[in-house]
Structure 1
Amino acid sequence: MTKKETWSQRFESALHPAIARFNASISFDIELIEYDLTGSQAHAKMLAHTGIISPEEGEQLVAGLEQIRQEYRQRKFQPGVDAEDVHFAVERRLTEIVGDVGKKVHTARSRNDQVGTDTRLYLRDQIQQIKSELREFQGVLLDIAEKHVETLIPGYTHLQRAQPVSLAHHLLAYFQMAQRDWERLGDVSRRVNISPLGCGALAGTTFPIDRHYTAKLLNFDDIYANSLDGVSDRDFAIEFLCAASLIMVHLSRLAEEVILWSSEEFRFVTLKDSCATGSSIMPQKKNPDVPELVRGKTGRVFGHLQAMLVIMKGLPLAYNKDLQEDKEGLFDSVNTVKASLEAMTILLREGLEFRTQRLAEAVAEDFSNATDVADYLAARGVPFREAYNLVGKVVKTSIAAGKLLKDLKLEEWQQLHPAFAADIYEAISPRQVVAARNSHGGTGFVQVNKALIAARAEIAQ
């Protein structure tokens, strides 16, 4: 049997070893140790500040906790399952270091508000790291986009050729998705950065604590106004998982395009050896493992979001042991998002190369300029729907004849409608098709250059 160390004399015997292992969270909540130490130091300072313990005792506690931090960093403090969780492990080691004073660190505090504080400190830090990685990802997108303003790529709807666009414009779409992700994390961070410390187990405490004092020490923006809510709220974690899921959606969409672009059917990009693998049996293969893994890992983040929602949906107030299950999914989602952002950034920066000649050929070999023929007629007074139907007819006859629109002779154009003139060929050239779309936010080169300038200014702030 495990030793009975953590619970009160209410219990006659220790937990069954299997139940102790089942109940323990130390194997994963050790991730919170530095945040637990920081939170406990602030709590000890507050206890001394309010006179609940003496200044000397406060100093001893803070110093002892700092010693544990150094021991952990030097891998000298590595608690096992007998500690149950990181909070008890720290308190036990603190008592070994400073003696009975260490037993005072938990005065006016519960594990319920303690773990809530630790988790928020952890997530606040991780959000900032993810935001930095998003900025790096955006920067690489801009670097590539600036080189390819006038490189054309087929634009698709329904995965069918639609209209050619600037490759820079295409990449800037992902920049904007990442920008929303960056802003969304900022919104989440504001609700993460609220302190539950001092809420106690559920009802507050009889000690004359100063919750605003600890909040200030820990750089929280505010404190929870209701102790029940403070210890049981996991909205902030759910919001983060929502934001993380959307980051993975955006990475996965780009990953899917890279997978398509690298195939023999598309041949829009070449994968470099540093970011591709081979086949164990087919020597000619070069596999897009990085984007495939990103696409696959997206599902696990979605799963963690769903799991958190299911955990929370039926919990009565206030704290319940179910909430121990919030951490593994949260930690894994943080690590998955960070790893996926890093991998996709490396892939874009040094793992692929756009095949500009192939892209030029691609935009010249289809009917994606058909809308521009209709626009050409509409600009000359022909009602657009009438023009649309005329162009549909000429596309049909051209396909039957094995021709592209650029191959039609001027007489054929004029037989279709007398408004056509020799400038129709320039109007339907891929470059002009792109350049002409100069509405705000469009793919025209003038607009794309403006967008690049605005994007650079955005991430430079």
Structure 2
Amino acid sequence: MWGGRFAEKPAAAMQAINASIDVDQRLWREDIEGSKAHAAMLAAQGIITAEDNAAIQAGLDQIAAEIAQGTFQFSTELEDIHLNIEARLTERIGEAGKRLHTGRSRNDQVATDFKLWTMRAARDAGDWLRALQKALVKRADQHADWIMPGFTHLQTAQPITLGHHLLAYTQMFERDRVRIVGAMLEAAWECPLGAAALAGTAYPIEREATAAALGFHAPAPNSLDAVGSRDFALAALANLSICATHLSRLAEEIVLWTSPQFGFARLSDTWSTGSSIMPQKRNPDAAELIRAKAARIGGAFATLNAIVQKLPLAYAKDLQEDKALTFDAFDSFELCVVAMTGMIETLAFNREAMRAAAARGYSTATDLADWLVRELKVPFREAHEITGKIVRRAEDAGVAELAHLALADYQAVDPRITEAARALLTVEKSVESRTSYGGTAPERVREQIARWKETFE
């Protein structure tokens, strides 16, 4: 395709490092779609004939069928998906195929194809996340009032409900979904096609027509920026990285919860692995691999960012690496979300173990401080000190829960404390009292669940 300038073929290693067909053949649908739109515009502008356009359209449809059926022969000598398709088109329809590339370059062609692919992948990622959110809400509905410990610093803090905990991730993934889908569309709404190599073209093309045909909002207004920028891919990878971090946090909790030391949940056989030497083992490998793949997705963003940040305008071959990184990140992301959805759907929770853990560590101490403030009008800092002394007294007495400490011990610290205060210090009473908007009380959790179901509908 570009051999007129050269007397010799590239060296084998040059061919190997330069060819990208093994990676970018995934763009075949977008490449054919872009070529069809470009040819139709060329014909409408009188740059090619209607007969040539008809032959190109039919030939590209035939090539699409060949690729879909697996009969298309990809060639590394033709470097990339663009030249592979164009060469096959010329082979099928003759001279008309050679006219397709009029008024464009592989630079604007690949930017257009890659933008189209990334926008569609972002929409798919949004759908995967929605399925995970639905699984989380379903399990939250089943466990809206199941009590578990809430942690700060991985130390028991206050009792919460399992439903509340699961909905926290539902909320995180909603922000992720909005970022991945919405920000992607915002970053990629301008069409590069027609920017040509870097300076535009002298042919009387109609860029608004190709942009509209391909579903973009408008043609990219600057040809240098159109072919030399990859911020749409950077935005996609950055947003996938943030969501992968959230997936990794949930995966880490599954690893902890399913350990014998926690015993909060049990993974199903379908989402567990065994040991080759220890027959009792039930390993949370899928959750562990999500943690690792989150690092891999973040690494893809860091790598592409490092590639782009040193490039002068406009196009440089360094950008060929963008697709391998982005394809791999989306593939890994899909695996992570699908695996997490499967684990959430099949986790078996242990109500008794979670409730017992919630009661340990004097998790209702704040409820006592709140009672002192509310009923006795004690300043909170004073109430905090009084409660701390009572916790120390419970520790010294070897009492596991504040609700089990004798009233006499409370009154030894502050004689104003009554049985009414002690009766509030169960984990059940604690979660029931957290009725502020967004709180863990079961009634608030069920309100959130209803809101999510309405959103899904």
TM-score by length of 2: 0.98
The CA deviation at 1:148 is: 0.7
Which letter maps to 1:142? V
1:255 is displaced (CA, Å) by: 0.1
Distance in 1 separating the partners of 2:82 and 2:317? 15
> Does 1:410 pair with 2:407?
yes
The reply on whether 1:159 has 2:160 as its aligned counterpart is no
SS at the partner of 2:453? helix
Q: 1:440 aligns with which of 432, 437, 440?
A: 437
Counterparts of 2:321 and 2:359, CA distance in 1: 55
Q: Is residue 27–residue 80 contact of structure 1 (8 Å, CA) maintained in 2?
A: no
Q: 1:390 aligns with which of 359, 368, 386?
A: 386
How do 1:28-427 residues align onto structure 2 when only pairs under 5 Å count? 28-185=23-180, 186-350=182-346, 352-379=347-374, 380-403=376-399, 404-427=401-424
Q: Distance in 2 between matches of 1:338 and 1:23?
A: 29
**CA-atom RMSD, angstroms?**
1.0
Instruction: Read off the aligned partner of 1:429 and give its amino acid letter.
Output: T
Q: Tell me the amino acid that sits aligned with residue 411 of structure 1.
A: A
- Opposite residue 336 of structure 2, the aligned amino acid is S
Following superposition, the deviation at residue 426 of structure 1 comes to 2.7
Distance across 1 between alignment mates of 2:75 and 2:117: 21
Aligned amino acid, residue 423 of structure 2:
E
Q: Deviations over 1:369-413 (max 9, x none)?
A: 011111110112111111111111111121121013112112222
Displacement of 1:8 in angstroms is: 4.2
1:420: Cα distance to partner? 1.5
| Residue identity in the other structure for 2:453 | R
Q: Deviations over 1:17-47 (max 9, x none)?
A: 2211111001101111111011111111111
Secondary structure of the equivalent of 1:423?
helix
Q: Is the 8 A contact 2:131 2:341 kept in 1?
A: yes
Taking structure 1 as the reference length, what is the TM-score of the superposition?
0.97
How far apart are the structure 2 equivalents of 1:322 and 1:431? 60
CA contact (8 A) 1:275 1:347 kept: yes
> Are residues 1:15 and 2:10 paired?
yes
CA distance in 2, matches of 1:188, 1:122: 11
Deviation at 1:153, TM superposition (A): 0.8
Q: Distance in 1 between matches of 2:304 and 2:95?
A: 39
Percent identity of the aligned residues?
43
Query: Contact 1:60 / 1:98 at 8 angstroms: preserved in 2?
Result: yes
Aligned 8 A contact 1:124 1:193 in 2: no
- Any gaps of 5 or more consecutive residues in structure 1? 1-5
Count of aligned pairs: 454
Partner SS state of residue 154, structure 1: strand
Q: Secondary structure at the match of 1:219?
A: coil
| Deviation >6 Å, runs of 4+ | none
Q: 1:3 matched to which residue of 2?
A: none
Show structure 2 runs of 5+ residues with no match: none
- Structure 2 counterpart of 1:263, one-letter code: S
The amino acid of 2:410's aligned partner reads W
Partner of 2:427: 430
Judge conservation of contact 1:163–1:368 (CA < 8 Å) in 2: yes
| In structure 1, C-alpha distance between the alignment counterparts of 2:100 and 2:367, rounded to whole Å | 74
